[in-house]
Structure 1
Amino acid sequence: MPNPSTTAVLITDPQNDFMSEKGAAWGLVKDNVTRLNTNENIASLMKAAKSADMQLFVSPHSYYEHDKHWHDRGPVQGLMNKIDMFRVDGPTTYANFKDSGADFYPPLKQYIEDGKTVITSPHKVYGPDSNDLVLQLRKRGIQTVLLGGFAANLCTDSHMRELTEQGFNVVVVKDAVGAPGEEAYQAALTNYNMIANAVWDTQQAVAFID
């Protein structure tokens, strides 16, 4: 059982493009998200973390204008570029960020924008290799993360793998993730069960936090 004092909740990509019905990727994830009650479960994890004074981390995704000019992309990266997912004006201006696809899902902002949540620099592909998440976790003495977010088989999976490689204990919250279809979700579950230290549902995670 993890030690609550060295445990944090970590959510990948809790942003409009995934979580809002108007988001660029909503059509890809809506069936899975609706079945799992993902949005509400992520909110429950965040609320529980705040109530218990447990640290909350968010690893967001965003792309600047210069990222549109990458020479090589995989198929999903190509699609994300084509539909302008997580588009932000640039690293020095967020003038059009509010209510954009890259902005945080409104029901979660009360937890994310309270001045205490650690919002990492954006990851650029899938995992935290390209942002400061590991540094931020280590600087706060975190040893275990309760992990949820989007997309189950992409960014969430990649965060699980990299954090495991870095020596963290990872507990994936299996109904607080969203995937682009049931096949992708089942593939993610297979990986979670083989790699993560544990796989819980939201009820188990909230009971642990409380």
Structure 2
Amino acid sequence: MNTPAIYDAGRTALLFVDPYNDFLSEGGKLWPRVAEVARAVGLHDNLRRIGAAVRAAGIPVFIVPHHRAEPDDFRNWDHPTPYQLGAAKVQVFAKGSWGGEWHPDFAPQPGDTIVKEHWGASGFANTDLDMLLKQRRVSHVILVGLIANTCIECTGRFANELGYHVTLVRDATAAFSAEAMRAAHEINAPSYAHAALSTAELLDALPR
């Protein structure tokens, strides 16, 4: 699955999924659940290195955010998922809250694109991400962010179905358990990702 790829700055985009305080900051609502895996893979340092490297290479960064919760989000829905209802109960990424703000190290920078918020796991479904990528003539997407077996995997699968070349950066994501990471990367990723790289491998492959 580590298919060699040419990351042309004019055809490549970094998709940074859900860089919220609730996921990435001490005190975040979901940080305790991802902390062990995040620390084991060096998540924060890898995300910093990737962000600096892709911007230096002229590769555009797309922030792909989850919907910011409000108390009555699912009141009249016919069939919200258990995952959605669980997140709503604790108001993950609550609108107007500290947890729903960007982690300060990963906030959008000038020139970045902020995609419309996704309600489910895919950054493409019911958002403008596909249109925005096509307008930039992007053919290759690099996936980083949270979490490996939900939003990262679903966004990657959707990207594959839409015809994009998909690169998963294995140590630039995390999950609630090592088992979930293994399933996401070793079992599921080969069915949609054209390349599954470490941060070091990705940086070596980027244009200088």
Q: Same fold (TM over 0.5)?
A: yes
Write the mapping of 1:4-153 to structure 2, written as runs, cut at 5 A: 4=8, 5-65=10-70, 66-69=72-75, 70-88=77-95, 96=96, 100-109=98-107, 112=108, 114-127=109-122, 128-153=124-149
Write the mapping of 1:165-180 to structure 2, written as runs, cut at 5 A: 165-180=161-176
Q: How many residues align?
A: 198
Equivalent residues of 2:69, 2:92 under 8 A apart: no
What whole-Å deviation, never above 9, does each CA across 1:45-82 have from its counterpart, x for those lacking one?
Answer: 11111111111111011235342423433232222111
**Partner residue of 1:2 out of 3, 6, 14:** 6
1:148 shift after superposition: 1.0
Deviates more, 1:66-75 or 1:167-176: 66-75
User: Is structure 2 residue 192 aligned with structure 1 residue 157?
Assistant: no
- Give the whole-Å Cα distance in 2 for the aligned partners of 1:137 and 1:181: 32
- Give the whole-Å Cα distance in 1 for the aligned partners of 2:7 and 2:56: 17
Equivalent residues of 2:53, 2:203 under 8 A apart: yes
User: Is structure 2 residue 203 aligned with structure 1 residue 206?
Assistant: yes
**Partner residue of 1:194 out of 168, 179, 191:** 191
- Give the whole-Å Cα distance in 1 for the aligned partners of 2:22 and 2:69: 15
Give me the TM-score of the superposition, normalised by structure 1.
0.89
**Partner residue of 2:178 out of 182, 191, 195:** 182
Equivalent residues of 1:146, 1:205 under 8 A apart: no
What whole-Å deviation, never above 9, does each CA across 1:83-133 have from its counterpart, x for those lacking one?
Answer: 110111xxxxxxx35xx1111111122xx1x22001101011100212111
Q: Structure 2 regions of 5+ residues with no counterpart? A: none
What whole-Å deviation, never above 9, does each CA across 1:179-199 have from its counterpart, x for those lacking one?
Answer: 111111111112112320110
Equivalent residues of 1:62, 1:102 under 8 A apart: no
Equivalent residues of 1:86, 1:102 under 8 A apart: yes
1:207 shift after superposition: 1.7
Structure 1 counterpart SS, 2:99: coil
Deviates more, 1:170-179 or 1:68-77: 68-77
Aligned-pair identity in percent equals 28
- Give the whole-Å Cα distance in 2 for the aligned partners of 1:125 and 1:160: 14
- Structure 1 letter corresponding to 2:88: N
